[in-house]
């Protein structure tokens, strides 16, 4: 399947992909490993939510 599907993430001048990449919580999640084995979806979400307020140790 080709990577280019003739679509982009920009609508009405708003770049949704750039916003998603730059969002602080998304940065915290993508720079950490979160083990969720044995957790309910709610518990996993709560663990990830805490990451949004924790300082990153990634460079």
Specify if 37 maps to a domain: yes
Specify if 5 maps to a domain: no
- Which residues on neighbouring strands pair with residue 11, listed in sequence order? 14
Specify if 57 maps to a domain: no
pLDDT of residue 55: 56
pLDDT band at residue 1 using 50, 70 and 90 as cut-offs: very low
Domain span at residue 24 reads: 16-51
Task: Quick: pLDDT tens for 18-52.
Answer: 888 888 877 766 777 888 999 999 998 888 777 66
Specify if 59 maps to a domain: no
Specify if 23 maps to a domain: yes
Specify if 34 maps to a domain: yes
The per-residue DSSP string of 1-59 comes to: --S--S--SEETTEEHHHHHHH-HHHHHHHTS----TT--HHHHHHHHHHHTTSPP---
Specify if 45 maps to a domain: yes
Instruction: Kindly state the average pLDDT of the residues 4-30.
Output: 80
Specify if 27 maps to a domain: yes
pLDDT of residue 22: 85
């Amino acid at each position: 399947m080709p990577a280019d599907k003739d679509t982009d993430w920009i609508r009405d001048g708003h770049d949704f992909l750039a916003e998603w990449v730059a969002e602080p919580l998304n940065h915290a999640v993508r720079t950490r490993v979160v083990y969720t084995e044995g957790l309910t979806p709610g518990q996993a979400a709560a663990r990830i939510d805490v990451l949004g307020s924790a300082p990153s140790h990634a460079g």
